Structure 1
């Protein structure tokens, strides 16, 4: 846990600001604590108010500077509201965006419905691209930006019954390359991390 680590004498991110989507569980929760442990002021989001409130209380007790708000990344208007909140809290500037939240679904390829496909692609890919677009002017204002999107090793291998999830993560990989190329001139770094299966809630 971040609270047990000794950061004395190590590099610091104090003064930086970050948004981490889906920060109340699993990988996202660990990312929030790691960034906060390095001195970053973090804003995260969740679809569950009770879960978010519990995490915020725990982080406050640990001395972490973390705020949070409710957001279902499937909905475009909620993504826009999230980034409006972030802009207000961080005074129109942002340093780090971690696209972590995702939706998984296990079905045989022939059983996916149009609604399934829309839900997965909107949450896992469209929201990533849209949040990057919304964060762009905030990065420009801070004169520095770093985007890290959580992809998956399943984006480059075939795993039965995960076809749409894998496609969504493959799209994340490609847009990462495109944005890294296009926004390098603006001092914005764009990367994706592709973990394997991790025993945690999604």
Structure 2
């Protein structure tokens, strides 16, 4: 096959995706499967995750789709995920850290338990998943990690300060690992979405006045779709992106040029 075509394909790759059953994670699974990658899906809801696994298996008959129910913000669950990966004896070459969560409040309204939970979900889980994946990734010639950050880690948005702090730290983790693990042949990048049409964003966007305000600060004048973030993640996974590492790619419809 033409080497340039190979650069835009993910055959012989296996990707582990967290938060894989809905929203950006689910769209990413579909995008990477379409490019030829085998899928290892991780999410908390066992029954729903199994439905997604069956659906993707049916839609992509040439792709291996496996699933494991786990909450990656919990240490024991993270370890169980990588025990599962080891038992599969499947060469892992790609990691997408998509799992996360938020509870927007004013800074003074958070309890210590509240903000620590946000950091566990958004930062420490990804940190540990990267560390646990490292021994697997170094065995592949074109390994990559993509972390799902947020524009709230770059500028102020109304997500609550712990969420923005956790995503800013995730972006910095991306840069640090990119520099540290380049010698191991592992590229590390992140995407930073603005408002994307997912189950999590629906309540806020249902307020028409708030939606108008969001659109007024978005040059493309629309809300992004999960598939558009998934396409950016997929590009960063591809061999075609082999000279790109340590980057945080905004998928924001131009929002960061406006602020909010």
TM-score normalized with structure 1 length: 0.91
Aligned to 1:81: 80
Aligned to 1:49: 46
Shift, 1:60, TM fit: 1.5
Corresponding residue to 2:168 among 165, 170, 183: 170
Aligned to 2:178: 180
SS of equivalent to 1:157: coil
Corresponding residue to 2:119 among 113, 121, 131: 121
The answer to whether the 8 A contact 1:108-1:160 is kept is no
- Structure 2 unaligned residues grouped into runs of 5+: 201-260
Corresponding residue to 2:13 among 11, 16, 37: 16
SS of equivalent to 1:194: strand
The count of residues paired between Structure 1 and Structure 2 equals 193
Q: How does 1:5-154 map to 2 (within 5 A)?
A: 11-62=8-59, 63=61, 64-91=63-90, 93-154=91-152
Distance in 1 separating the partners of 2:56 and 2:43: 15
Which of structures 1 and 2 has the bigger CA Rg? 2
Distance in 2 separating the partners of 1:160 and 1:38: 35
Aligned structure 1 segments of 4 or more residues deviating by more than 4 angstroms: none
Distance in 1 separating the partners of 2:102 and 2:150: 11
SS of equivalent to 1:141: coil
TM-score normalized with structure 2 length: 0.71
Distance in 2 separating the partners of 1:179 and 1:73: 19
Which piece of structure 1 moves more, 135-144 or 65-74?
A: 135-144
Corresponding residue to 1:159 among 157, 160, 175: 157
Aligned to 2:243: none
Shift, 1:141, TM fit: 2.2
